[in-house]
A = this chain, B = another copy of it.
């Protein structure tokens, strides 16, 4: 079954989005019978990928369609349970790749909540009534403030280790230790307890921020929402930008969006993503920008690219290599960068920039080999050049190629490339590339806004290789053949380590350390074997563990 990531609130089965002035409510009210796959019921507000796709959509729309919303309150539509986390039967039945992809997307969506709260002034609060367990608590942990009702039964918990022999792997452990800075022995107690914590212990251990009686719960939620709203710099007088449906022509070997296309070669395991540069000029001013709305070229490309990457991740497991190409005018793209740069104060421009940052991070975190081909007709400039810098390898045409007449391949770096789109490690892609060598970046910065030809790009260290027409086809072909001969797992693990040089952040810890351990657990018989805890959960049978410690 193909996974479809495109939705909108009219199609939601599991979330309700209520907006009133500067406050929105995102209400989780899962349709038990609305599971994405067969074979399980989404009881107790548990979730599967389908639930998370709606959440992702809602978070996106809140950013663009509701500029005036300053606070988003996450709550449950079912009285007695906030959220029971990822559905266990779903998880137990999923194959390894689906588990890993699901967790990664969930992690990215949790990251989008923090991104909105911390960068965009759209601050999330979790208002917790009832059991808030596992992935449910991980969801709450992604917000800036957790309010727990003190009713003698409502609790927060991470029961994965005790119940399922897996980790709270979508950020849970890392956010407990690094975001909420819970003392390590308390974190150990909490993460190995099925029951978790409620009442004063939850507050004392900093697992929640507020504890309040049931009668005062709604008042406190409102009060906190008002307080957080005062910290927000979102506009009070702007209309939103409606995110219209993406149109995609989907065929077996090709997806075609307006400015992005994906061509699949299943035999070779290669997908080619082609990005079309702008065909219309840069808006004259912000008013024209607002008229363009969701058709503003950078936003349109970001949405299409985002969807294309997600489709490849979930629907094309046999694709091991993604080849990025771009077609258009580098100068035109760099004009878009300059327009963005000149208008960073405007909320909509800011959202477009932040969205590109998130899409580029999603590319960094995609476990396929990423290759950029820079040809004479390419337009890898500014934020599109970040794709080249996010790639594991880049090949650039040197001198003229018969097919393109006099045109030579060039790159243009702009203000977009020097820190505007940090990676998860909080460094720019250039700073990661030239770790500990700031003088090389200064050198590159001298060429800002100027076309850089292949020889110079090579000398500056911006591309992996420049090739003339005689060698080009062979070099690219040989590389692709070699890549497809390697173990896909070894490449996944190698790339996960090579791409993130330098400092680590909570985000890289979640995607690196925590996820890698979670992926390991998802292979271990004690969890996923026929007598493993994840497999046997709900059967009444007890897991039979191999007691050897590894």
Q: How many residues of A contact B (CB 8 A)?
A: 91
Q: Determine if A392 is an interface residue (Cβ-Cβ < 8 Å).
A: yes
Q: Determine if A178 is an interface residue (Cβ-Cβ < 8 Å).
A: yes
> Given A188-B495, A489-B527, A517-B496, do A549 and B464 touch, yes or no (CB 8 Å)?
no
Interface string of A237-279 (1 = CB under 8 A from B): 0000000000000000000000000000000010000000000
**What residues of B have a CB within 8 angstroms of the CB of A434 in the complex?**
183
Q: Determine if A493 is an interface residue (Cβ-Cβ < 8 Å).
A: yes
Q: B503 near A504 (CB under 8 angstroms)?
A: yes
**What residues of B have a CB within 8 angstroms of the CB of A464 in the complex?**
185-186, 188-189
Contact residue among B319, B491, B549 (Cβ-Cβ distance under 8 Å from A368): B549
Q: Determine if A286 is an interface residue (Cβ-Cβ < 8 Å).
A: no
Question: How far is the CB of A141 from the nearest CB of chain B, in Å?
Answer: 14
- Closest B residue to A167 using CB positions: B493
Within 8 A of B (CB), among A151-186: 160-162, 164-167, 173-174, 176-178, 181, 183-186
Rounded to whole angstroms, the CA-CA distance of A185 and B501 in the bound complex is 12
Q: A486 near B165 (CB under 8 angstroms)?
A: yes
- Closest B residue to A186 using CB positions: B464
- Closest B residue to A174 using CB positions: B497
Contact residue among B486, B492, B494, B521 (Cβ-Cβ distance under 8 Å from A489): B521
**What residues of B have a CB within 8 angstroms of the CB of A185 in the complex?**
391-394, 464
> Given A188-B393, A524-B523, do A550 and B367 touch, yes or no (CB 8 Å)?
yes
Q: Determine if A498 is an interface residue (Cβ-Cβ < 8 Å).
A: yes
Q: A549 near B317 (CB under 8 angstroms)?
A: yes
Q: Which of A121-129, A350-358, A446-454, A540-548 contacts B (4 or more CB under 8 A)?
A: A540-548
**What residues of B have a CB within 8 angstroms of the CB of A393 in the complex?**
185, 188-189
> Given A184-B501, A433-B183, A516-B520, do A526 and B487 touch, yes or no (CB 8 Å)?
yes
Rounded to whole angstroms, the CA-CA distance of A23 and B160 in the bound complex is 53
Q: B100 near A165 (CB under 8 angstroms)?
A: no
- Closest B residue to A390 using CB positions: B184
Question: How far is the CB of A508 from the nearest CB of chain B, in Å?
Answer: 8
Within 8 A of B (CB), among A439-472: 461, 464
Interface string of A54-93 (1 = CB under 8 A from B): 0000000000000000000000000000000000000000
- Closest B residue to A158 using CB positions: B494
Q: B519 near A497 (CB under 8 angstroms)?
A: no
Rounded to whole angstroms, the CA-CA distance of A491 and B550 in the bound complex is 10
**What residues of B have a CB within 8 angstroms of the CB of A521 in the complex?**
489-490, 493
Rounded to whole angstroms, the CA-CA distance of A147 and B508 in the bound complex is 34
Main secondary structure of the interface of A (DSSP, over half): helix
Q: Determine if A287 is an interface residue (Cβ-Cβ < 8 Å).
A: no
Interface string of A404-441 (1 = CB under 8 A from B): 00000000000000000000000000001111110000
Q: Determine if A96 is an interface residue (Cβ-Cβ < 8 Å).
A: yes
Q: Determine if A502 is an interface residue (Cβ-Cβ < 8 Å).
A: yes
Q: A490 near B368 (CB under 8 angstroms)?
A: no
Q: B498 near A187 (CB under 8 angstroms)?
A: yes
> Given A489-B526, A490-B166, do A548 and B517 touch, yes or no (CB 8 Å)?
no
Q: Determine if A46 is an interface residue (Cβ-Cβ < 8 Å).
A: no
**What residues of B have a CB within 8 angstroms of the CB of A527 in the complex?**
487, 489-490
Q: Determine if A397 is an interface residue (Cβ-Cβ < 8 Å).
A: no
- Closest B residue to A165 using CB positions: B487
Q: Determine if A148 is an interface residue (Cβ-Cβ < 8 Å).
A: no
Q: Determine if A512 is an interface residue (Cβ-Cβ < 8 Å).
A: yes
Rounded to whole angstroms, the CA-CA distance of A529 and B490 in the bound complex is 14
Identify which of A191, A367, A548 gathers the most chain B CB atoms within 10 Å of its CB: A548
Q: A550 near B489 (CB under 8 angstroms)?
A: yes
8 shortest interchain CB distances as A-B pairs = A165-B487, A516-B516, A504-B504, A177-B501, A493-B517, A185-B464, A512-B513, A523-B523
- Name 17 A/B residue pairs within 8 A (Cβ), A-sorted: A161-B490, A162-B486, A165-B490, A174-B497, A181-B435, A188-B393, A188-B498, A192-B482, A320-B547, A487-B524, A487-B533, A488-B545, A493-B520, A497-B513, A504-B508, A516-B516, A516-B519
List 10 extra interface pairs beyond A97-B549, A165-B487, A516-B517, CB under 8 A: A181-B501, A183-B433, A188-B392, A191-B494, A318-B547, A368-B549, A487-B524, A487-B545, A497-B517, A516-B516
